[in-house]
Structure 1
Amino acid sequence: MRDAVRAKTNRRSVAGMPAELMDLDLRHLHLRIGEGILAARPALIATVLGSCVSVTFHHPSTETGGIFHAMLPTVLGAADGARTPCKYVDAAIETLLGQFARRGIAANDLVVKLFGGAFTMNPEEKQRLRCIVDVGGRNVEVARATLQRFGIEPQSEHILGDRGRKLFFHSGTGEVWVRLLRRTEPPLPSALVCRDDLT
Protein backbone atom coordinates (compact mmCIF):
# COMPACT_ATOMS: atom_id res chain seq x y z
CA MET A 1 0.00 0.00 0.00
CA ARG A 2 1.27 3.48 -0.74
CA ASP A 3 0.49 7.03 0.36
CA ALA A 4 -2.91 8.30 -0.66
CA VAL A 5 -3.50 11.30 -2.83
CA ARG A 6 -4.07 14.12 -0.37
CA ALA A 7 -5.58 16.79 -2.60
CA LYS A 8 -9.21 17.65 -1.99
CA THR A 9 -11.48 17.51 -4.97
CA ASN A 10 -13.96 20.27 -5.69
CA ARG A 11 -17.03 19.21 -3.72
CA ARG A 12 -19.36 20.11 -6.57
CA SER A 13 -17.40 17.90 -8.97
CA VAL A 14 -18.20 14.69 -7.08
CA ALA A 15 -21.15 13.39 -9.07
CA GLY A 16 -24.03 11.93 -7.12
CA MET A 17 -22.80 13.06 -3.71
CA PRO A 18 -25.62 13.11 -1.13
CA ALA A 19 -26.58 16.64 -0.09
CA GLU A 20 -25.71 16.04 3.57
CA LEU A 21 -22.08 15.35 2.59
CA MET A 22 -21.56 18.58 0.64
CA ASP A 23 -20.68 20.69 3.66
CA LEU A 24 -18.42 18.23 5.45
CA ASP A 25 -14.86 19.51 5.77
CA LEU A 26 -13.20 16.28 4.65
CA ARG A 27 -10.59 15.22 2.16
CA HIS A 28 -12.29 13.63 -0.84
CA LEU A 29 -10.56 10.55 -2.24
CA HIS A 30 -11.57 8.50 -5.26
CA LEU A 31 -10.99 4.74 -5.09
CA ARG A 32 -10.52 2.96 -8.42
CA ILE A 33 -10.63 -0.71 -9.37
CA GLY A 34 -7.87 -2.67 -7.67
CA GLU A 35 -7.15 -0.01 -5.05
CA GLY A 36 -7.41 -0.08 -1.28
CA ILE A 37 -6.87 2.59 1.33
CA LEU A 38 -6.48 2.80 5.10
CA ALA A 39 -7.25 6.31 6.37
CA ALA A 40 -6.06 7.33 9.82
CA ARG A 41 -7.53 10.82 9.31
CA PRO A 42 -11.21 11.13 8.36
CA ALA A 43 -11.84 11.22 4.63
CA LEU A 44 -14.78 10.84 2.29
CA ILE A 45 -13.91 8.02 -0.10
CA ALA A 46 -15.99 7.46 -3.23
CA THR A 47 -16.04 4.46 -5.55
CA VAL A 48 -18.30 2.88 -8.17
CA LEU A 49 -19.07 -0.85 -8.16
CA GLY A 50 -20.56 -3.20 -10.72
CA SER A 51 -19.65 -6.85 -10.23
CA CYS A 52 -16.72 -5.67 -8.10
CA VAL A 53 -16.88 -5.79 -4.31
CA SER A 54 -15.94 -3.30 -1.61
CA VAL A 55 -15.66 -4.02 2.08
CA THR A 56 -15.50 -1.11 4.51
CA PHE A 57 -13.71 -1.42 7.84
CA HIS A 58 -14.11 1.06 10.70
CA HIS A 59 -12.51 1.24 14.14
CA PRO A 60 -14.76 3.56 16.17
CA SER A 61 -12.41 4.52 19.00
CA THR A 62 -9.58 5.66 16.69
CA GLU A 63 -11.83 6.80 13.80
CA THR A 64 -9.65 4.78 11.44
CA GLY A 65 -11.30 3.45 8.30
CA GLY A 66 -10.36 1.22 5.40
CA ILE A 67 -11.91 0.21 2.10
CA PHE A 68 -10.91 -1.66 -1.06
CA HIS A 69 -12.36 -2.14 -4.55
CA ALA A 70 -11.65 -5.68 -5.77
CA MET A 71 -12.64 -7.03 -9.17
CA LEU A 72 -11.90 -10.77 -8.92
CA PRO A 73 -12.70 -13.30 -6.19
CA THR A 74 -9.40 -14.98 -5.39
CA VAL A 75 -5.68 -14.41 -5.70
CA LEU A 76 -5.03 -18.16 -6.01
CA GLY A 77 -3.08 -18.81 -9.19
CA ALA A 78 -2.73 -15.10 -10.01
CA ALA A 79 0.71 -14.06 -11.23
CA ASP A 80 0.27 -10.47 -10.02
CA GLY A 81 -1.22 -11.24 -6.60
CA ALA A 82 1.74 -10.05 -4.52
CA ARG A 83 1.97 -6.83 -6.53
CA THR A 84 -1.76 -6.03 -6.70
CA PRO A 85 -3.49 -7.62 -3.69
CA CYS A 86 -6.46 -5.24 -3.72
CA LYS A 87 -7.46 -6.54 -7.15
CA TYR A 88 -8.61 -9.77 -5.45
CA VAL A 89 -11.32 -10.01 -2.78
CA ASP A 90 -9.59 -12.54 -0.51
CA ALA A 91 -6.17 -10.86 -0.70
CA ALA A 92 -7.66 -7.38 -0.25
CA ILE A 93 -9.41 -8.41 2.97
CA GLU A 94 -6.21 -9.98 4.29
CA THR A 95 -4.19 -6.90 3.30
CA LEU A 96 -6.50 -4.41 5.02
CA LEU A 97 -6.82 -6.54 8.15
CA GLY A 98 -3.03 -6.82 8.21
CA GLN A 99 -2.71 -3.03 8.05
CA PHE A 100 -5.11 -2.66 10.98
CA ALA A 101 -3.25 -5.35 12.94
CA ARG A 102 0.05 -3.50 12.48
CA ARG A 103 -1.62 -0.56 14.22
CA GLY A 104 -2.74 -2.75 17.11
CA ILE A 105 -6.36 -2.99 15.92
CA ALA A 106 -7.85 -6.48 16.08
CA ALA A 107 -10.26 -7.77 13.45
CA ASN A 108 -13.03 -8.31 16.01
CA ASP A 109 -12.86 -4.62 17.01
CA LEU A 110 -13.82 -3.48 13.51
CA VAL A 111 -17.26 -2.63 12.13
CA VAL A 112 -17.39 -4.24 8.69
CA LYS A 113 -19.84 -3.72 5.81
CA LEU A 114 -20.04 -5.46 2.42
CA PHE A 115 -21.09 -3.90 -0.91
CA GLY A 116 -21.34 -4.73 -4.61
CA GLY A 117 -21.37 -7.98 -6.53
CA ALA A 118 -24.03 -7.00 -9.07
CA PHE A 119 -24.73 -9.02 -12.20
CA THR A 120 -24.71 -6.21 -14.74
CA MET A 121 -24.86 -8.07 -18.04
CA ASN A 122 -27.17 -7.15 -20.91
CA PRO A 123 -30.73 -8.29 -19.96
CA GLU A 124 -31.00 -10.52 -23.05
CA GLU A 125 -27.82 -12.37 -22.08
CA LYS A 126 -28.44 -12.47 -18.35
CA GLN A 127 -30.20 -15.82 -18.01
CA ARG A 128 -27.91 -17.56 -20.48
CA LEU A 129 -24.68 -16.29 -18.91
CA ARG A 130 -25.45 -16.23 -15.18
CA CYS A 131 -24.79 -19.95 -14.77
CA ILE A 132 -21.49 -19.61 -16.66
CA VAL A 133 -19.99 -16.39 -15.32
CA ASP A 134 -21.44 -14.63 -12.28
CA VAL A 135 -18.32 -12.83 -11.11
CA GLY A 136 -20.31 -10.57 -8.79
CA GLY A 137 -21.95 -13.48 -7.01
CA ARG A 138 -18.61 -15.24 -6.64
CA ASN A 139 -17.00 -12.04 -5.32
CA VAL A 140 -19.66 -11.80 -2.60
CA GLU A 141 -19.31 -15.50 -1.75
CA VAL A 142 -15.53 -15.21 -1.34
CA ALA A 143 -15.84 -11.98 0.67
CA ARG A 144 -18.22 -13.61 3.14
CA ALA A 145 -16.06 -16.74 3.43
CA THR A 146 -12.85 -14.76 3.94
CA LEU A 147 -14.41 -12.49 6.55
CA GLN A 148 -15.82 -15.54 8.33
CA ARG A 149 -12.34 -17.07 8.40
CA PHE A 150 -11.27 -14.04 10.46
CA GLY A 151 -14.33 -14.33 12.70
CA ILE A 152 -16.03 -11.31 11.14
CA GLU A 153 -19.73 -11.03 10.35
CA PRO A 154 -20.64 -7.96 8.26
CA GLN A 155 -22.83 -5.54 10.18
CA SER A 156 -24.68 -4.73 6.97
CA GLU A 157 -24.68 -5.61 3.28
CA HIS A 158 -25.85 -3.95 0.07
CA ILE A 159 -25.07 -6.64 -2.49
CA LEU A 160 -26.00 -8.51 -5.69
CA GLY A 161 -28.88 -7.32 -7.89
CA ASP A 162 -28.48 -6.15 -11.48
CA ARG A 163 -27.39 -2.51 -11.08
CA GLY A 164 -24.11 -0.89 -10.18
CA ARG A 165 -23.65 1.24 -7.08
CA LYS A 166 -21.90 4.46 -6.19
CA LEU A 167 -20.56 4.46 -2.62
CA PHE A 168 -19.46 7.27 -0.35
CA PHE A 169 -17.58 6.02 2.72
CA HIS A 170 -16.87 8.34 5.66
CA SER A 171 -13.76 6.71 7.09
CA GLY A 172 -14.01 8.61 10.38
CA THR A 173 -17.54 7.49 11.26
CA GLY A 174 -17.90 4.29 9.22
CA GLU A 175 -21.06 5.59 7.56
CA VAL A 176 -21.70 4.56 3.95
CA TRP A 177 -24.09 6.17 1.48
CA VAL A 178 -25.16 4.05 -1.52
CA ARG A 179 -26.78 5.14 -4.76
CA LEU A 180 -27.93 2.60 -7.35
CA LEU A 181 -26.77 3.50 -10.86
CA ARG A 182 -28.59 3.62 -14.15
CA ARG A 183 -27.20 1.13 -16.65
CA THR A 184 -26.02 3.96 -18.92
CA GLU A 185 -23.46 5.34 -16.43
CA PRO A 186 -19.87 4.53 -17.47
CA PRO A 187 -17.46 2.38 -15.44
CA LEU A 188 -14.34 3.80 -13.85
CA PRO A 189 -10.85 3.46 -15.34
CA SER A 190 -8.74 0.67 -13.89
CA ALA A 191 -5.80 1.00 -11.51
CA LEU A 192 -4.13 -1.77 -9.58
CA VAL A 193 -2.53 -0.49 -6.39
CA CYS A 194 -3.21 -0.36 -2.67
CA ARG A 195 -2.79 2.85 -0.74
CA ASP A 196 -1.97 3.50 2.89
CA ASP A 197 -2.79 6.96 4.20
CA LEU A 198 -1.34 7.38 7.67
CA THR A 199 -1.15 11.15 8.08
Structure 2
Amino acid sequence: MNRKIIKKGGMAMEQVTIKNKNLLRHLAGIMMATVFFVFIIPSHGMALTPSGTVVGNQASATYNDSVGNQFTAQSNLFTITVSQVAGVSVSPQPGQSRSGAPANEVQFPHTVKNIGNGTDTFNLATVAGGAVTLNSITIIRDDNGNGIANPGEPAITSVTLDMDQSQMIVVRGTVPNSAGRNDGDYLSRKICLCIDGEPQRDTGLHD
Protein backbone atom coordinates (compact mmCIF):
# COMPACT_ATOMS: atom_id res chain seq x y z
CA MET A 1 0.00 0.00 0.00
CA ASN A 2 1.32 3.44 -0.97
CA ARG A 3 -0.05 6.66 0.55
CA LYS A 4 0.50 10.29 -0.30
CA ILE A 5 -1.20 13.63 0.38
CA ILE A 6 -2.31 15.76 -2.58
CA LYS A 7 -3.22 19.42 -1.98
CA LYS A 8 -5.74 20.91 -4.38
CA GLY A 9 -7.24 24.33 -3.79
CA GLY A 10 -8.50 24.47 -0.21
CA MET A 11 -8.65 20.67 0.13
CA ALA A 12 -6.17 18.11 1.37
CA MET A 13 -6.72 14.82 -0.49
CA GLU A 14 -5.22 11.56 0.66
CA GLN A 15 -4.42 9.14 -2.17
CA VAL A 16 -3.97 5.47 -1.36
CA THR A 17 -2.68 2.98 -3.94
CA ILE A 18 -3.48 -0.66 -3.13
CA LYS A 19 -2.50 -3.61 -5.31
CA ASN A 20 -4.66 -6.18 -3.53
CA LYS A 21 -7.98 -6.01 -5.40
CA ASN A 22 -10.09 -7.75 -2.77
CA LEU A 23 -8.76 -5.55 0.01
CA LEU A 24 -9.36 -2.46 -2.12
CA ARG A 25 -12.98 -3.37 -2.76
CA HIS A 26 -13.54 -3.89 0.94
CA LEU A 27 -11.98 -0.57 1.85
CA ALA A 28 -13.85 1.31 -0.85
CA GLY A 29 -17.13 0.32 0.74
CA ILE A 30 -16.27 1.71 4.15
CA MET A 31 -13.80 4.46 3.28
CA MET A 32 -14.38 7.79 5.01
CA ALA A 33 -12.42 11.00 4.80
CA THR A 34 -10.50 12.34 7.75
CA VAL A 35 -11.99 15.62 8.92
CA PHE A 36 -9.60 18.28 10.15
CA PHE A 37 -11.06 20.58 12.81
CA VAL A 38 -9.81 24.16 12.79
CA PHE A 39 -9.89 25.89 16.16
CA ILE A 40 -9.93 29.69 16.01
CA ILE A 41 -8.09 31.27 18.96
CA PRO A 42 -7.89 35.06 19.03
CA SER A 43 -4.26 36.02 19.53
CA HIS A 44 -2.06 38.93 18.60
CA GLY A 45 0.72 36.56 17.60
CA MET A 46 -1.30 34.18 15.46
CA ALA A 47 -3.05 34.73 12.13
CA LEU A 48 -6.75 33.84 12.18
CA THR A 49 -8.51 31.91 9.46
CA PRO A 50 -11.06 34.27 7.85
CA SER A 51 -14.70 33.50 8.63
CA GLY A 52 -16.52 31.71 5.84
CA THR A 53 -13.41 29.80 4.77
CA VAL A 54 -14.32 26.27 3.66
CA VAL A 55 -11.89 23.55 4.72
CA GLY A 56 -12.41 20.32 2.78
CA ASN A 57 -11.03 16.79 2.85
CA GLN A 58 -11.50 13.79 0.55
CA ALA A 59 -9.82 10.40 0.37
CA SER A 60 -9.27 8.36 -2.78
CA ALA A 61 -7.89 4.89 -3.53
CA THR A 62 -6.66 3.42 -6.81
CA TYR A 63 -5.68 -0.09 -7.88
CA ASN A 64 -4.78 -2.05 -11.01
CA ASP A 65 -6.42 -5.34 -11.82
CA SER A 66 -4.66 -8.40 -13.20
CA VAL A 67 -4.83 -7.15 -16.81
CA GLY A 68 -3.59 -3.64 -16.01
CA ASN A 69 -6.88 -1.75 -15.83
CA GLN A 70 -6.81 1.03 -13.26
CA PHE A 71 -9.74 1.72 -10.96
CA THR A 72 -10.32 4.62 -8.56
CA ALA A 73 -12.67 4.90 -5.59
CA GLN A 74 -13.33 8.15 -3.72
CA SER A 75 -14.97 8.94 -0.41
CA ASN A 76 -17.57 11.64 0.05
CA LEU A 77 -16.24 15.19 0.32
CA PHE A 78 -16.32 16.51 3.89
CA THR A 79 -16.25 20.25 4.43
CA ILE A 80 -16.15 22.57 7.44
CA THR A 81 -16.99 26.27 7.24
CA VAL A 82 -15.02 28.44 9.66
CA SER A 83 -17.35 30.40 11.95
CA GLN A 84 -16.85 34.05 12.84
CA VAL A 85 -15.05 34.83 16.08
CA ALA A 86 -15.37 38.39 17.37
CA GLY A 87 -12.45 40.28 18.86
CA VAL A 88 -11.55 43.90 19.53
CA SER A 89 -8.70 45.87 21.07
CA VAL A 90 -8.37 49.49 22.12
CA SER A 91 -5.06 51.29 22.48
CA PRO A 92 -3.13 52.89 24.03
CA GLN A 93 -3.02 50.88 27.20
CA PRO A 94 -2.64 51.95 29.94
CA GLY A 95 -4.96 54.89 29.50
CA GLN A 96 -4.31 58.59 29.29
CA SER A 97 -4.75 61.56 31.62
CA ARG A 98 -5.48 65.17 30.74
CA SER A 99 -5.46 68.41 32.70
CA GLY A 100 -7.89 71.15 31.80
CA ALA A 101 -9.35 74.35 33.19
CA PRO A 102 -13.12 74.69 33.72
CA ALA A 103 -15.07 75.19 30.46
CA ASN A 104 -12.07 74.00 28.37
CA GLU A 105 -12.16 71.00 26.05
CA VAL A 106 -9.95 67.95 26.50
CA GLN A 107 -9.37 65.17 23.96
CA PHE A 108 -8.29 61.53 24.23
CA PRO A 109 -7.12 59.76 21.02
CA HIS A 110 -7.53 55.99 20.70
CA THR A 111 -7.21 53.27 18.10
CA VAL A 112 -9.90 50.59 17.79
CA LYS A 113 -8.80 47.40 16.00
CA ASN A 114 -10.78 44.38 14.87
CA ILE A 115 -8.75 41.35 15.99
CA GLY A 116 -11.52 38.89 15.10
CA ASN A 117 -11.65 36.83 11.92
CA GLY A 118 -14.40 38.68 10.05
CA THR A 119 -16.08 42.03 9.45
CA ASP A 120 -17.79 43.31 12.60
CA THR A 121 -19.56 46.40 13.93
CA PHE A 122 -18.53 47.75 17.32
CA ASN A 123 -20.74 50.10 19.32
CA LEU A 124 -18.77 52.83 21.07
CA ALA A 125 -19.73 54.41 24.38
CA THR A 126 -18.11 56.09 27.36
CA VAL A 127 -18.73 55.36 31.03
CA ALA A 128 -18.27 58.05 33.67
CA GLY A 129 -15.34 57.59 36.00
CA GLY A 130 -13.17 59.61 38.35
CA ALA A 131 -13.99 62.72 40.32
CA VAL A 132 -14.89 64.87 37.31
CA THR A 133 -17.57 64.06 34.74
CA LEU A 134 -17.02 65.77 31.41
CA ASN A 135 -19.80 67.63 29.65
CA SER A 136 -20.79 67.23 25.99
CA ILE A 137 -18.85 64.00 25.49
CA THR A 138 -18.57 62.90 21.86
CA ILE A 139 -16.57 60.26 19.99
CA ILE A 140 -15.04 61.58 16.78
CA ARG A 141 -13.82 59.49 13.85
CA ASP A 142 -10.23 60.61 13.34
CA ASP A 143 -10.14 60.44 9.54
CA ASN A 144 -6.69 61.99 9.11
CA GLY A 145 -5.18 60.08 12.04
CA ASN A 146 -3.58 63.10 13.72
CA GLY A 147 -5.05 62.36 17.16
CA ILE A 148 -7.09 65.57 17.19
CA ALA A 149 -10.78 66.15 16.46
CA ASN A 150 -10.70 68.42 13.40
CA PRO A 151 -13.57 70.34 11.78
CA GLY A 152 -15.50 68.13 9.39
CA GLU A 153 -14.66 64.86 11.13
CA PRO A 154 -17.95 63.21 12.16
CA ALA A 155 -19.18 62.15 15.58
CA ILE A 156 -19.86 58.39 15.68
CA THR A 157 -21.47 55.84 17.97
CA SER A 158 -20.22 52.73 16.17
CA VAL A 159 -17.54 51.62 13.75
CA THR A 160 -17.51 48.79 11.20
CA LEU A 161 -14.13 47.16 10.62
CA ASP A 162 -12.90 44.36 8.42
CA MET A 163 -10.63 41.65 9.81
CA ASP A 164 -7.37 43.20 11.10
CA GLN A 165 -8.58 46.72 10.21
CA SER A 166 -8.24 49.61 12.67
CA GLN A 167 -9.80 53.04 13.09
CA MET A 168 -8.49 56.00 15.05
CA ILE A 169 -11.01 57.87 17.18
CA VAL A 170 -10.94 60.86 19.53
CA VAL A 171 -13.04 61.08 22.69
CA ARG A 172 -13.60 64.71 23.59
CA GLY A 173 -15.50 66.55 26.29
CA THR A 174 -15.63 69.82 28.20
CA VAL A 175 -14.42 70.29 31.76
CA PRO A 176 -17.45 71.44 33.82
CA ASN A 177 -17.47 74.92 35.34
CA SER A 178 -17.97 73.32 38.75
CA ALA A 179 -14.61 71.53 38.59
CA GLY A 180 -12.25 72.78 41.29
CA ARG A 181 -8.98 71.96 42.94
CA ASN A 182 -10.62 69.40 45.22
CA ASP A 183 -11.55 67.36 42.15
CA GLY A 184 -7.90 66.59 41.41
CA ASP A 185 -5.69 67.49 38.49
CA TYR A 186 -6.74 64.62 36.23
CA LEU A 187 -9.87 63.48 34.48
CA SER A 188 -10.81 59.84 34.29
CA ARG A 189 -12.79 58.26 31.46
CA LYS A 190 -13.43 54.65 30.60
CA ILE A 191 -14.00 53.43 27.05
CA CYS A 192 -16.50 50.60 26.73
CA LEU A 193 -17.02 48.67 23.53
CA CYS A 194 -19.99 46.49 22.65
CA ILE A 195 -20.18 43.94 19.87
CA ASP A 196 -23.58 43.65 18.23
CA GLY A 197 -25.41 40.55 19.43
CA GLU A 198 -22.91 39.82 22.20
CA PRO A 199 -22.52 40.89 25.83
CA GLN A 200 -20.85 44.24 26.39
CA ARG A 201 -17.08 44.08 26.43
CA ASP A 202 -15.37 46.43 28.85
CA THR A 203 -11.83 47.13 27.77
CA GLY A 204 -10.91 48.35 31.24
CA LEU A 205 -9.20 51.31 29.62
CA HIS A 206 -9.15 54.48 31.71
CA ASP A 207 -8.31 57.96 30.50
TM-score w.r.t. the length of structure 1 is: 0.24
TM-score w.r.t. the length of structure 2 is: 0.23
Q: For the pair shown, which has the larger CA radius of gyration, 1 or 2?
A: 2
**Highest RCO, 1 vs 2 (Cα 8 Å, sep ≥ 6):** 1
Higher-strand-fraction structure: 2
